Every structure is written in C-alpha cells, then in structure tokens.
Amino acid sequence: MERDEADGDRNGDGDEVAGFRAPPPPDDRLWRHPSEVEPAGPAALRPRAGGRPSPNPWPVALVSGLVGAALTLGVVASTGALHDRRNAGVVVPRSVPPAAAEPGAGAGAGAGVNDSDGVVSIAEAVSPAIARVEVSGPQRSTGSGVVFRRDGHLLTNAHVVEGAESINVVLADGSEHRGRLVGSDPLTDIAVVAIEADGPFPTAELGSAVDLRVGQSTVAIGSPLGLIGGASVTTGVVSALGRRVPSPDGPPLLDMIQTDAAIAPGSSGGALLDRSGSVIGITTAIALSQEGADGFGFATPIDIARAVAEEIIATGQATHVWLGIEGRDLDHRSARDAGVDGGAVVESVVEGGPAGAAGLAAGDVIVGLSAETVPSMSVLVIALRDLDPGEVIELEVLRDGDRITIPVTLGARPPPGQ
C-alpha cells in the first residue's frame, strides 16, 4: 500500500529524491498539485494532443447535480428547502387599515438607513431584529423571524411553526426566550409568534412592496441552518413580480416577489429588504433549477404579511374574502376569439358559496370586477384583497358569447373542514 509522501518511499522501489519517491506522471494520477494546474480562463481549455479541450471535472459534476434537481419548485413546507428539519376556491387575505398597526412600530432597526449607507449599514441596523425560531414537535425544525413590534411580536412562516409543541426564539444578541404562537395562516404562509419576555425589542421597519420595480436592489437577511453567530446577509435584485408559486398542500401563493438574493435553508421567515433598509417581503419559498444551484427565492409581499399579522394579533385569526369558485386563466386563443385581453375561467362553483348564490356557473369567464379589467385568475384574487366580507361587487362575465353583469355579495371563507 502506497504511503503518504511525508513518510517517504519505504518499499525499496528506488527513484528517491531526498527520501521522497517521485510521484507518477500527472496523467496517471487522480490528483494534481496546484503548480500542475493551468490557470482558469481560456488557457484552461487548451487542446490536448488529440485536439480536444481537457474538461474540468468539477463543472461536469456540478451540472450533473443540478440536472438531477431540475425544475424543483415549491413552498418550503413541502420541500424543506428553507427551514431546517432535524430528527427530522379563490381565497384572499382581508386587508387591515394601516391604523391597526402599533403606533411607532417599525421605527427601530431600519429607520434612517439610506442608499448611500450601503449594505453594511443595512445589515448592522436590521440584523438585531432578525431572530432564529426553533420549533419542537413531531419534528424539530428551525427557521427565521422578523421582530416588527417592540413588545416582541415577530413575523415568520406558517410552515415553520406547523405542529409546534414549543417554540424557542434566539435573538441576535444570543439571548433565548420562550415563544408563543399567536396565530397562523397557511393560506398566506404567515404566522405571528410573541416573545414571552419584557421588551422593548429591536424592530425592523416595515415598508411596502406596492411600488417595487424589476431590477431594484434587494437585501435578504435570515438565520440559515440554525447556525450560531447571528444573521446571514445576501444581496440581489427583484427578478420578477406577481409570481404564482404552487403549493402541493393548498392553494398557490400569489403575487409573490421573486429575487436572486441567495436564500439559504433556515432563512424561511426572514426579511427581504430594499436598499433603504425597509422590509418589503417575508422570505417564503425557493426554486432550484438547472439554471443555478441557488435558483430563485420568493417572498410574500410585506403588505399582505402585515395585514394578516395585525388581524391575527387583534382577533387570533386572519379573515379571508371568499368568492367560492375554482378556475384558471383564459388561454390566448380563446381570449382572441372572444375579443378580450384575457379573463378568469370559472371551472367549478362551490355549492352555497357567494358565487353560486349569485348565479355564476362553470364555463363563465370573468373579465371585469367593478369596472376594472380582469385579465387572469391571479389578478382577480389580487383585486379582491382590499375588499371585506359583506361587500357587494359587480362581476363582468362572458357567457355563451354574451357579456353580462352579475352582482355578488362577498363572504368569509369558512373554517377548514366545513
């Protein structure tokens, strides 16, 4: 058996130099000394004797691994991609008026940060408000949370605290506190946890995602993999807006922010910020594809997360407007034949639901809502977010080639199982 070079040649093979055996030629070995490797770049692909470039085995291995994970997309609740597990109809959130927020909340960590301060200042200002959320239950898991009220209420993902029997919150200063689940909303994947300790606590400033633009710079801060040593900071841009992220355990998440800022396992429930240091989203899901090992991350717009959180704090649960239909987008050819830009095709109507009571039927195509154009099912859902149960809306509908108007009184989504 060949010994390590430090032991020299003790097998009597000869060819010794100062007590060391000369290694075989490079082409006969699986390893290379750095001095034998040509610099990276064009020179690294110089033709061999046979005229073909010598491939680097590492990119090949990387590509092979990525192909094996191609097009894997999902909410972390189903994939486990963002929080670490060890031992291991149309429904929309009801908006809450901004006045419902705690006076002065968010005037802490992110305040006063501007573009000229850069990422370093943002990280220093916001990181104290990023917590690690450790959950014990049927499975142990870790995620992240964003403290947004001085009394210790923090935002995280519903899938992070799913099945929690106990919650431990680790703050940026290393202190640990018991956490209490205030409420959880799986439909938006938002949950609120209260730190059971006396405040005040550092808070992150909650901004708005309403005016976001593709290409705008972003900063993601989370507590990946439950690692000790504080939050992790990455940067990127807003890659897309209004994304529809499928969820195998329920309705898809709509109107999501897509970013290429790296979001590591354990960062689910962390903060996505703009370059002013304000939170614009709660990191929720990740996509892995053959385009890159990190893929794209998705965040729930903070406007949705804040509305859901404030209602959970006020009432213990989030109220959702309910139309009572299931549907899909109108395809391009059908839209062209009907002379419209698009629409939401009603595939089924829930018996006894608001839409059914108003007379909507399968096959109807919703093309307008109270004088606003509805080009897709996602747009319809988003348009309903600012409405409340009990409000009356007028749906413009295509039925058998005719355009009709149907008034509908919106309802509240019944509890699961009813």
3-state secondary structure of 93: strand
In the residue annotation, 249 being an active-site residue is answered as: no
Indicate which residue of 83, 159, 177, 320 is catalytic.
159
In the residue annotation, 337 being an active-site residue is answered as: no
CA-to-CA distance for 157 and 317, rounded, in angstroms?
Answer: 14
Amino acid sitting at position 137 = G
**339 in the Ramachandran plot: left (φ > 0), alpha (ψ -120 to 50) or beta?**
left
Indicate which residue of 95, 127, 141, 268 is catalytic.
268
Indicate which residue of 95, 141, 177, 189 is catalytic.
189
In the residue annotation, 153 being an active-site residue is answered as: no
Name residues whose C-beta falls within 8 Å of residue 126's C-beta, 6 or more positions apart in sequence: 109, 110, 113, 204, 219, 221, 271, 273, 277, 279
CA-to-CA distance for 103 and 26, rounded, in angstroms?
Answer: 69
Q: What is the dihedral of CA 12, 17, 20, 24, to 10 degrees?
A: -80
Integer CA distances (angstroms), 229 to 173, 225, 290, 317, 371, in order = 9, 11, 32, 34, 53
Q: What are phi and psi of 39, to 5 degrees?
A: -60, 155
Name residues whose C-beta falls within 8 Å of residue 391's C-beta, 6 or more positions apart in sequence: 409, 410
Judged on CB neighbours under 10 Å (0-12, 13-18, 19+), 274 is buried
- Please write down the long-range contacts of 13-19, taking CB distance under 8 Å and 24 or more positions apart: none
Q: Are 89 and 325 in contact (CB under 8 A)?
A: yes
CA-to-CA distance for 171 and 145, rounded, in angstroms?
Answer: 9
Measured in whole angstroms, how far is the alpha carbon of residue 70 from the centre of its chain?
A: 18
95-114 b/e with 16+ CB inside 10 Å = b? bbeeeebeeebbebbbeebe
Strand ranges inside 116-267, DSSP E? 130-136, 140-147, 153-156, 166-170, 176-185, 190-195, 217-222, 232-245, 253-259
Residue 304 is encoded by which pair of tokens? 């949705």
Q: Catalogue the active-site residues.
A: 159, 189, 268
